[in-house]
C-alpha cells in the first residue's frame, strides 16, 4: 500500500510539474512586440533603408487645435501633416471639414467636423499621419516617447462606442509611408463609450490593445506613423473633434 501511495504521489507531482512547464511555455509565447503578432508580415527593404525618426522635444503637445481654420495639422515639433480620410471602399459617403461651434471646448470656436454613413462593409474613418507620408520624405515615423499618451475632446452622434487607433511603421503599408507590403500586423486601438455630448478622452499609450485580444503594452511610441479615428458602422454618424494633443501627466 505504501508503495502505491508513493507511486501516486510521484505521478501527481510529475503532472503538476508538467502543467507548470506548459504554463511557462504558454506565457513565453505571448507577443512582446507588434511584429510578433504578424510573423508572416513582409516588409519593404527599400523603405526600411529610408526609415527615419522625428523625435518630439515635448515642448509642443498640441497636435491640432483647429483654430487655423484648415485641415493642416499644426506644423510644430517636427510634425508635418494634414487630416486625411479612409473607408471600406463601398458606396458610402463621408465629409471632413472645419466648423464653428459656440460650445467648442477649446480656446476658440473651430472644430473638426465629420459626417458620413451608408457604408456596406465595416465603415470609415479619418487620420493624422504625423510625419509626411508622401514624397520626397515618405518613410518617417514620430517618436512621441516623451509623452504618456494622446487626448482629445470629442462629441459623437450615431454611435454607442468608438475607437482611436495608432499605427506604427510596421503596421502601416508602404503606400501610406510605412514599411509593410503584406500580411501586416493590426494597428493598436483604444476603445471608449460615447455619451452624445462633449467628452474628454485620455488614451495612455500602454493601454492600447491588440484588436481581438486582451494584450496591452505592445505599442512602441517611438515609431508612431498615424493616429486614426474609426467609425465602424453602417448607419449615419456625426463627429466633432477639438483640442487634439499629447499629454505628459
In contact, 125 and 231? CB cutoff 8 Å: yes
Domain 40-247: CATH class, spelled out: mainly beta
Rounded to whole angstroms, how far apart are CA atoms 119 and 40? 30
pLDDT of res. 213:
78
For residue 186, count CB atoms less than 10 angstroms from its CB and return exposed for 0-12, middle for 13-18, buried for 19 or more: middle
pLDDT of res. 6:
47
pLDDT of res. 29:
67
Residues of the chain with pLDDT under 50: 1-2, 4-9, 11-28
pTM value is 0.86
Q: What is the pLDDT of residues 49-101, one digit of tens each?
A: 999 999 999 999 999 999 999 999 999 999 999 999 999 999 999 999 999 99
Q: For the chain, what is the radius of gyration of the CA atoms?
A: 22
pLDDT of res. 125:
97
pLDDT of res. 96:
98
Q: What is the pLDDT of residues 28-41, one digit of tens each?
A: 467 788 888 899 99
pLDDT of res. 33:
85
pLDDT of res. 34:
86
Rounded to whole angstroms, how far apart are CA atoms 239 and 226? 19
In contact, 229 and 241? CB cutoff 8 Å: yes
Amino acid at each position: 500500500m505504501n508503495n502505491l501511495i508513493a507511486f501516486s504521489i510521484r505521478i501527481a507531482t510529475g503532472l503538476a510539474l508538467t502543467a507548470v512547464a506548459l504554463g511557462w511555455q504558454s506565457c513565453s509565447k505571448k507577443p512582446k512586440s507588434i511584429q510578433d503578432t504578424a510573423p508572416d508580415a513582409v516588409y519593404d527593404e527599400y523603405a526600411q533603408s529610408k526609415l527615419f525618426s522625428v523625435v518630439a522635444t515635448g515642448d509642443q503637445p498640441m497636435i491640432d487645435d483647429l483654430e487655423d481654420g484648415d485641415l493642416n495639422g499644426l506644423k510644430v515639433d517636427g510634425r508635418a501633416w494634414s487630416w486625411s480620410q479612409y473607408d471600406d471602399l463601398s458606396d458610402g459617403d463621408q465629409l471632413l471639414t472645419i466648423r464653428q461651434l459656440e460650445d467648442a471646448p477649446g480656446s476658440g470656436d473651430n472644430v473638426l467636423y465629420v459626417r458620413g454613413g451608408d457604408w456596406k462593409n465595416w465603415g470609415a474613418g479619418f487620420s493624422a499621419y504625423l510625419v509626411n507620408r508622401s514624397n520626397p520624405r515618405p518613410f518617417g515615423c514620430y517618436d512621441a516617447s516623451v509623452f504618456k499618451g494622446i487626448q482629445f475632446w470629442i462629441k459623437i452622434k450615431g454611435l454607442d462606442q468608438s475607437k482611436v487607433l495608432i499605427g506604427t511603421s510596421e503596421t502601416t503599408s508602404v503606400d501610406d509611408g510605412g514599411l509593410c507590403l503584406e500580411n501586416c500586423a493590426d494597428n493598436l486601438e483604444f476603445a471608449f463609450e460615447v455619451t452624445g455630448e462633449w467628452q474628454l478622452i485620455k488614451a495612455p499609450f500602454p493601454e492600447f490593445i491588440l484588436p481581438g485580444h486582451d494584450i496591452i503594452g505592445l505599442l512602441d511610441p517611438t515609431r508612431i506613423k498615424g493616429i486614426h479615428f474609426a467609425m465602424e458602422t453602417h448607419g449615419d454618424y456625426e463627429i466633432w473633434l477639438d483640442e487634439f494633443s499629447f499629454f505628459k501627466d
